[in-house]
Amino acid sequence: MAVKFISRYKPQEQLDILLSVNSYQNPEAAQDALYETALKPSGQWDNAMFVADFRTVMSVILAGRIPLSND
């Protein structure tokens, strides 16, 4: 996920964003911070409709029986 985040737009700026995230003792907290950093610029998180649509799509992805590919 980090590689995709860095390579999608202005790699140096994306890398700087990831490196500026605080270090965490807890691996789960570090992963949460990584996902938050990557997802925050991808949508309108203050828009209830956007958040509802995101949750619906993620529910289908997570509950799916057929794995998704990176292609």
Rounded CA separation 38/31 (Å):
11
- 16 inside domain: yes
pLDDT category of residue 26 using cuts at 50, 70 and 90: confident
Instruction: Categorize the per-residue pLDDT at 21 as very low, low, confident or very high, splitting at 50, 70 and 90.
Output: low
Domain presence at residue 52: yes
Residue 16 has pLDDT above 60, yes or no: yes
Residue 57 lies in a domain: yes
Number of domain units in the chain: 1
Among the listed residues 7, 9, 34, the one whose alpha carbon sits nearest the alpha carbon of residue 20: 34
Domain with 17, as residue range(s), is 2-63
Q: Is 21 left (phi over 0), alpha (psi -120 to 50) or beta?
A: beta
Please give the pLDDT value at position 50: 95
Residue 66 per-residue DSSP state: S
Q: Is residue 71 part of a domain?
A: no
Which pLDDT belongs to residue 24?
A: 59
Across all residues in the chain, what is the average pLDDT?
81
